[in-house]
Amino acid sequence: MQQISLYDPVEDRKTPQGYRCVPVGEAGSIDPASLPPLVITVTIEDLKRMPIHTPIAHAGPERGWLPVNMVNVLYTNADTQELETEILGTPVRIRATPVEFHWDLGDGNTIATTDPGKPFPSERISSEYRFEGWYDIILTTTFTGQFSVDGGEWQDIEGSIEIESDPVELFAKSLESRLVNGSEDEDEDSGYGGDDNDEDEEEPWIPERTPDTEGPIDPKARHRRI
């Protein structure tokens, strides 16, 4: 019996992939000429163990908030990644390609697309929030894979994997609900802080994230495919 292992260069270890039978010569040693051709393959489980870089989700302005009903631009990097490993001393290249992007906007709305999107002013992939509050935007990217043994042709890996990006925290600000009221604290209730004599417009007041400031679910939420 001969053990087949997959070498992980990141963890510097080999993972057993099973065994194959080999004939034995008269002297008890393996006769190389009698060995069947070695077939190396890579499975979807092998792809899951590879150190694929997680795509970075981008949403809304860098300031971390945007007005209610304003366009929220979504995009990510969509580079194909190539990694190297070794199976039975044979070099194997693995290619992971992003093929679909699923955006969860945190308010019940979701978007599925094969388009990674582009930064503002593009609005190819975008959404809006109807209510004020904090939301987590989560991107899940679906990858398919291929592998090449010792410089040979690329072969498809059956199946696909999903990788979830770190959430993007975003506050939807209802500026219309924060009109100036002289009887109330301007910092909280006008929506703007700072000195009225400042020449530059101050950023709106944004509350800390607490259970009371979480954004509600949109009753008209829907799933869109773009």
Looking at every residue in the chain, the average pLDDT score rounds to 81
140 or 122, which is more confident: 140
Q: Strand pairing of 72-76 and 57-59?
A: antiparallel
8-state DSSP, 188 = H
Q: Are 111 and 224 in contact (CB under 8 A)?
A: yes
Q: Which domains does the chain have, with CATH numbers?
A: 2-225 (2.60.40.10)
pLDDT digits (tens, 9 = 90+) for 62-80: 888 999 999 999 999 989 9
Q: Are 139 and 165 in contact (CB under 8 A)?
A: yes
Distance, in Å, from the CA atom of 187 to the CA atom of 201, rounded to the nearest integer, reads: 13
Structure-block tokens of residue 119: 């930064």
Q: Decide if pLDDT at 20 tops 60.
A: no
Band (pLDDT 50/70/90 cuts) for residue 204 is confident
| Residue 152 one-letter amino acid | G
Query: Nearest 5 degrees, angle CA 21-CA 27-CA 28?
Result: 30
Distance, in Å, from the CA atom of 94 to the CA atom of 83, rounded to the nearest integer, reads: 5
From 17-21, 202-206, 220-224, the region with the lowest mean pLDDT: 17-21
Q: Decide if pLDDT at 96 tops 60.
A: yes
pLDDT digits (tens, 9 = 90+) for 36-53: 666 788 899 999 999 999
- How many CA atoms does the CB half-sphere of 49 hold within 13 Å? 18
Question: What is the per-residue pLDDT for 183?
Answer: 46
Question: What is the per-residue pLDDT for 145?
Answer: 96
Q: Is the dihedral of CA 96, 98, 99, 105 positive or negative?
A: positive
